[in-house]
Structure 1
Amino acid sequence: AMLSPGLLLLAWLPACLARHSLQLRAGAPRCYSAEELSLGHAPPHLLARAAKWEQALPVALVSSLEAAGRRKRQAGSPGGIQCQVLQPEEVLEADIHQRSISPWRYRVDTDESRYPQKLAFAECLCKGCISTKTGRETAALNSVPLTQSLLVLRRQPCSRDAAGAPTPGAFAFHAEFIRVPVGCTCVLPRSVQ
């Protein structure tokens, strides 16, 4: 079986980012003044060392999700989350998240203190899974999110003097791994209903 480039990327990124994480964590984080930070963003050398975020699926999807959101708002389309009846003839050309028996949608998660600030988070559309026989949701199985570990930079206020009080506009940056939901799958329920 051939692996898609997306799956290969998901397997490669955690190991690559772990190496960068060790470099970023070495020593106490430097406190950058407001003058050293361009519009409050992380210093370019930290961003360059952290990761090639544009290659990560949660980052790569953001621009297309935002564009789709603008189109829906202009068209007046409802944007609610719902578990729909599966129509095989309608989903043959659809993306994998729409063809799954545990379908999901993506939403843009924004965190001003994180770099990247915007990430695509998957949200399961069904509590159960879609029956391949009826095309309708069944509680015999549960939909659960699949997560990916992603290295991000976290911005925190810091002090530029010995007093210890945060200096206005000054920030330190540290690396941390977060769990990002990237899709959904079907599992057996933990208990029989």
Structure 2
Amino acid sequence: MLFRIAFVVVTMSVVCDCRPTVVDFHIDNMFWGITHPKCTDLVGSSYSDTIQLRKDCQMIYSDSYVKWSEAMLQDQEFVTDLEVVDVTNATQSGSAERHRRSPGDSSCPQYDRSYLNTIDKPRLRSLSPWKFVINKDDNRIPRVLVDTECLCKGCIDVATGREDAENFISHPLSIDVPARTGTQLRVKSVSLGCTCMLPLYTH
């Protein structure tokens, strides 16, 4: 009798398909607090990799900057003119594909009276003006992020309204945000804007 019970148990364990089901993943999503719509259906190479992938994704989309970036990318008025910097296939030299959707802001401006009377955006009246861009990487979570680029190498001279690249430099103000590329959770540096500073002199 005991032999028959043992045989049935062993047989059931062999024929049982113990792969996780959709219901299993749904329960695990609730258990781990995975609620972001871009994370709940991600699938990894294994069950444990799937759970880790979704946990990393949830943590990334809980970051305050990533939340802000997502919100801004939903604003059609904001994104209409933004250049897309696609780094998906960027080489080690740092080159990236650029897709400009309109002329927009692309060069260092000259601050004459006409310009200052028509431009009211603070970022374009700064001594170190900058533009927003969309940083895109199809192999990364998140796939797109709002980033910025300085429009001038130097800074705007208050006296002339023109760029002074000999005595000043425009420098990006960067922060690190969480991102996942492949199987690695890492940080991605993004720029919030630009500031004017003195160059580093070497003797």
- TM-score computed with the length of structure 2 as normaliser: 0.55
Decide whether the 8 Å contact of 1:124 with 1:144 is kept in 2.
Answer: yes
Structure 2: tracts of 5 or more residues without a match? 1-42, 84-99
Match of 2:150 in 1: 124
Decide whether the 8 Å contact of 2:133 with 2:149 is kept in 1.
Answer: yes
Change (3 A) 1:47 1:183: same
Cα offset, 1:114, TM superposition: 1.0
Cα offset, 1:80, TM superposition: 6.2
Cα offset, 1:105, TM superposition: 0.6
Cα offset, 1:177, TM superposition: 1.3
Change (3 A) 1:100 1:67: same
Change (3 A) 1:151 1:108: same
Match of 1:150 in 2: 177
| Aligned ranges 1:71-150 → 2 under 5 Å | 73=101, 77-79=102-104, 81-86=106-111, 87-91=115-119, 93-94=120-121, 96-139=122-165, 140-150=167-177
Greater relative contact order structure (CA < 8 Å, 6+ sep): 1
Q: Does 1:33 find its partner at 2:45?
A: yes
Residue 192 of structure 2 aligns with an amino acid whose one-letter code is V
Change (3 A) 1:45 1:191: closer
Cα offset, 1:90, TM superposition: 2.4
SS of the residue 1:61 aligns to = helix
Match of 1:178 in 2: 188
SS of the residue 2:161 aligns to = coil
Q: Does 1:191 find its partner at 2:172?
A: no
Residue 169 of structure 2 aligns with an amino acid whose one-letter code is N
Change (3 A) 1:46 1:190: closer
Q: Distance in 1 between matches of 2:62 and 2:200?
A: 38
Which stretches of structure 1, 4 residues or longer, exceed 6 Å deviation after superposition?
A: 34-38
Cα offset, 1:61, TM superposition: 3.4
SS of the residue 1:68 aligns to = coil
Residue 188 of structure 2 aligns with an amino acid whose one-letter code is I
Q: Percent identity between the aligned chains?
A: 29
SS of the residue 1:48 aligns to = helix
The structure with the larger Rg is 2
Q: Does 1:61 find its partner at 2:72?
A: yes
Match of 1:46 in 2: 56
Decide whether the 8 Å contact of 1:53 with 1:59 is kept in 2.
Answer: no
Change (3 A) 1:50 1:120: closer
Cα offset, 1:107, TM superposition: 1.2
Residue 79 of structure 2 aligns with an amino acid whose one-letter code is E
Cα offset, 1:126, TM superposition: 0.5
Change (3 A) 1:176 1:37: closer
